[in-house]
Structure 1
Amino acid sequence: MELLDIVERIGEAPTAALMGLATGVVFGVAAQRSRFCLRAATVEFARGQMNDKVAVWLLTFSTAVVWVQAAQLLGLMRAEDARMMAVPGSWSGAIIGGLLFGVGMVLAKGCSGRLLVLAATGNLRSVVSGLIFAVVAQMSLQGILSGWRDKLAALWITDGGRNMDLLAVFGLPKWAGLVLGIAIALLALELSRRNRIGVSRLFFASGVGFSVALGWVLTFGLSQVAFDPVQIESATFTGPSAHTLMFFLERDAVLEFDVGLVPGVFIGSFLASFLMKEFKLQGFDGPATMRQAMIGAALMGFGGMLAGGCAIGAGVTGGSIFAGTAWCALFFMWVGAMATDIFLNQPALRAATR
């Protein structure tokens, strides 16, 4: 059955939601099996290590770039049509929001995407943190925090009414993104070899990157056959978490890609953990850990919305199309996370071992 037939049979909005569901399931399975986590990679790097967590993150990021750039060269999508590229980006939002998100994900022991994956495996800490993240994200989008977000984002925006395409800015050919992705992938594979990471984990790590490309290609395909304008987007969890929360709270909420994505990730991660007998109920270690996780989740909710995306949305999805503010946000997420580990976690660990 062709895509147009599906749209004509069930409608554009349900089709978009199904695409989000499919993207989410692939992401959920792959992220759960690969243990992909930006927070873990930044902490490992901050401690002077280049082990499995850094290798897995680099492989996921690079394969997302490779898949997405290859899809562009094949005409399966156009990055310039993506929602992230078609609107002005905020440099100030990327810097401030990236720092806040980086701090928050270390405090919460996982970025928003990782919290969703862990919640599906029975981690109640992630359930609580994820709900706080979604509520604060919605408050930052349309609620009491939206004014602060707008003011901070407006401090410094991109020129020309659009986000910055880094490949175009540096005058690079269209195939340069693919070459860069392959180069980073080779580095990741070398690190994987040194750390003796199994083929299965590498396969699923690349599957996370594939899910990002899948979302881009599916929504672009829908935009070509839909009567109404369709947002070309892929995996991200700040906006979708807020939208999914409101979908279940509002009577007149409508289906969209975002509303399918979040349940899809949960379903995929749950199935993967259940089938591999890794599903296990877990809670907070104590009041201090709970307070820290709640503060971290709130920082991620506001920071992710301000930065224009979370560790997945900006760090991988936006990075794969070379959106300028996405790369900026990713850099400052690393900075914020590493600083938090260096100045907060590492001294505590040293004190505990004395």
Structure 2
Amino acid sequence: MLSPLELALWAGLAIGLVFGACGQASGFCLQRGLAEYWSGRAGYKLHAFALALAIALIGTHAVAAAGLVDLGQSLYMMPSFSWLLLPLGGLMFGYGMGLANGCGARALVLLGQGNLRSFVVLLCLGIGAYMTLTGIVAPLRVWVSELTSVTPSSIAVPGGLPRSLVVWGVAAALACFAFRSRESGRRAADLAGGAVVGLLVVAGWLATGWLGADDFEPVPVASLTFIAPIGDTIQYAMIASGMSLRFGVTVVLGALAGSLLAAILRGRCRLEGFESARQMRRHMAGGVLMGAGGALAFGCSIGQGLTGLSTLAYSSMISALAIVIGARLAWQRASGPGADVSPTL
């Protein structure tokens, strides 16, 4: 019989497989959705992200209300956070996402189909994240965090009936936006991809908070996020004998395998590289900014933009807003006269 930890790890692998296959088939990505929306291009990528958030929001609070998952144990419900580093990290991640033309999760999916640009981005992201979390930048991060830490009276929207009304109200608004018609675009495929990702966020909570519940060897309560897990996966590849396997690592490995399988079945496997040294520098900078920024913001466009927001934590709202602002700044720079606009990862 499998232990709770083993159940959570196998569940993480399955969640990653579905995420990778879904991302490969639908092209799910916040950066692509924002770029489409801001430039006025047809498409439903941002609508798909809104639908994913609506489903994640309802599902997360349903499993919490049922007593299956204690969201209070998650990283997003921390009692205090840095009023400086949280938004700064979000801005850095969003800007880096714009430079690299995609987030870390999207890079994983594209690597599975042979995109070598995303391989460089992921290496830079993982190294940047670990430098900030536990490496040479960590002492400075901890020092600044202690100086700027605040403890709000409430870390999330209060419980009870008002909270339920907020959940359903926000979810309804997101759904209305998601199903709003545009002139053209792959509506069915994009929205289906968003629905699957939203369900996977809920599945992640259940995998760690329910399947992984154990008084002696508890699994940290978490769901889809890709900053620290990408760094963990790189480290695990080097020192597996001295490091225990984690839920996030299995999700990352599953996402790579799921994308590869989907790409093979769809005939999308092909090697792609950089077109110029300038383009490579741009993507490397984007990867480092996403890694360091995501570490400061406690998540990425998936980790904070979906998983974090599904808890209605105020810190996640701050991070997600900063990520969008950072992405907007990068998009404006890339859209300006004489800008170097590189292709998607």
TM-score, structure 1 normalization: 0.88
How far did 1:263 drift?
0.2
Assess, with a 3 A threshold, how the Cα gap between structure 1 residues 38 and 148 changes in structure 2: closer, same or farther.
farther
Q: C-alpha separation between the residues in 1 aligned to 2:284 and 2:293? A: 14
Q: C-alpha separation between the residues in 2 aligned to 1:252 and 1:301? A: 23
Is 1:6 the counterpart of 2:2 in the alignment? yes
**1:322 corresponding residue in structure 2:** 312
In structure 1, the residue corresponding to 2:163 is in which secondary structure? coil
How far did 1:316 drift?
0.8
User: Could you report, residue by residue, the CA deviation over 1:29-82 in whole angstroms, capped at 9, with x for unpaired residues?
Assistant: 222222111111222333355742222222222222222223233333232232
Q: C-alpha separation between the residues in 1 aligned to 2:54 and 2:267? A: 30
How far did 1:153 drift?
3.2
Q: C-alpha separation between the residues in 1 aligned to 2:215 and 2:19? A: 25
**1:116 corresponding residue in structure 2:** 108
Judge which range, 279-288 or 171-180, deviates more. Answer: 171-180
**Of the candidates 257, 263, 271, which is equivalent to residue 253 of structure 2?**
263
1:162-177 alignment to 2 at 5 Å? Answer: 164-165=155-156, 167-168=157-158, 172-177=162-167
Decide whether the 8 Å contact of 1:97 with 1:302 is kept in 2. yes
User: Could you report, residue by residue, the CA deviation over 1:179-217 in whole angstroms, capped at 9, with x for unpaired residues?
Assistant: 4213311220114x6535342332122111111110001
Assess, with a 3 A threshold, how the Cα gap between structure 1 residues 157 and 48 changes in structure 2: closer, same or farther.
farther
**1:278 corresponding residue in structure 2:** 268
Q: C-alpha separation between the residues in 2 aligned to 1:351 and 1:329? A: 26
Decide whether the 8 Å contact of 1:90 with 1:307 is kept in 2. no
Is 1:342 the counterpart of 2:342 in the alignment? no
**Identity between Structure 1 and Structure 2 (%):** 32
**Of the candidates 149, 156, 170, which is equivalent to residue 157 of structure 1?**
149
Q: C-alpha separation between the residues in 2 aligned to 1:119 and 1:94? A: 29
Assess, with a 3 A threshold, how the Cα gap between structure 1 residues 209 and 184 changes in structure 2: closer, same or farther.
same
Q: C-alpha separation between the residues in 1 aligned to 2:160 and 2:214? A: 33
* Structure 2 gaps, min length 5: none
**1:78 corresponding residue in structure 2:** 70
**Of the candidates 213, 218, 225, which is equivalent to residue 224 of structure 1?**
213
Decide whether the 8 Å contact of 1:86 with 1:163 is kept in 2. no
**1:197 corresponding residue in structure 2:** 186
**1:187 corresponding residue in structure 2:** 177
Q: C-alpha separation between the residues in 2 aligned to 1:44 and 1:170? A: 38
Judge which range, 178-187 or 195-204, deviates more. Answer: 195-204
Is 1:213 the counterpart of 2:202 in the alignment? yes
Is 1:133 the counterpart of 2:129 in the alignment? no
Assess, with a 3 A threshold, how the Cα gap between structure 1 residues 283 and 69 changes in structure 2: closer, same or farther.
same
User: Could you report, residue by residue, the CA deviation over 1:1-35 in whole angstroms, capped at 9, with x for unpaired residues?
Assistant: xxxx421xxxx443332222122112112222221
How far did 1:132 drift?
1.1
**2:53 corresponding residue in structure 1:** 61
Q: C-alpha separation between the residues in 2 aligned to 1:340 and 1:21? A: 33
User: Could you report, residue by residue, the CA deviation over 1:250-294 in whole angstroms, capped at 9, with x for unpaired residues?
Assistant: 231001212211101111111111111112211112111101000
How far did 1:348 drift?
2.9
**Of the candidates 39, 44, 56, which is equivalent to residue 52 of structure 1?**
44
Q: CA RMSD in A?
A: 2.5
In structure 2, the residue corresponding to 1:172 is in which secondary structure? helix
Q: C-alpha separation between the residues in 2 aligned to 1:38 and 1:75? A: 31
Decide whether the 8 Å contact of 2:100 with 2:283 is kept in 1. yes
Assess, with a 3 A threshold, how the Cα gap between structure 1 residues 170 and 224 changes in structure 2: closer, same or farther.
closer
**1:27 corresponding residue in structure 2:** 19
Q: C-alpha separation between the residues in 2 aligned to 1:100 and 1:316? A: 18
**Of the candidates 286, 289, 295, which is equivalent to residue 279 of structure 2?**
289
Output the amino acid matched with 2:23. Answer: A
Q: Aligned pair count?
A: 341
Q: C-alpha separation between the residues in 1 aligned to 2:159 and 2:62? A: 20
* Structure 1 gaps, min length 5: none
Q: C-alpha separation between the residues in 1 aligned to 2:17 and 2:272? A: 23
Is 1:243 the counterpart of 2:232 in the alignment? yes
Decide whether the 8 Å contact of 1:158 with 1:164 is kept in 2. no
How far did 1:351 drift?
11
Q: C-alpha separation between the residues in 1 aligned to 2:146 and 2:253? A: 32
Q: C-alpha separation between the residues in 2 aligned to 1:40 and 1:302? A: 21
How far did 1:169 drift?
8.5
How far did 1:163 drift?
7.6
Assess, with a 3 A threshold, how the Cα gap between structure 1 residues 18 and 91 changes in structure 2: closer, same or farther.
farther
Assess, with a 3 A threshold, how the Cα gap between structure 1 residues 198 and 351 changes in structure 2: closer, same or farther.
closer
**1:90 corresponding residue in structure 2:** 82
In structure 1, the residue corresponding to 2:300 is in which secondary structure? coil
TM-score, structure 2 normalization: 0.90
User: Could you report, residue by residue, the CA deviation over 1:147-197 in whole angstroms, capped at 9, with x for unpaired residues?
Assistant: 23223433433416x9811x2189823353134213311220114x65353
In structure 2, the residue corresponding to 1:318 is in which secondary structure? helix
Is 1:300 the counterpart of 2:277 in the alignment? no
Q: C-alpha separation between the residues in 1 aligned to 2:341 and 2:150? A: 45
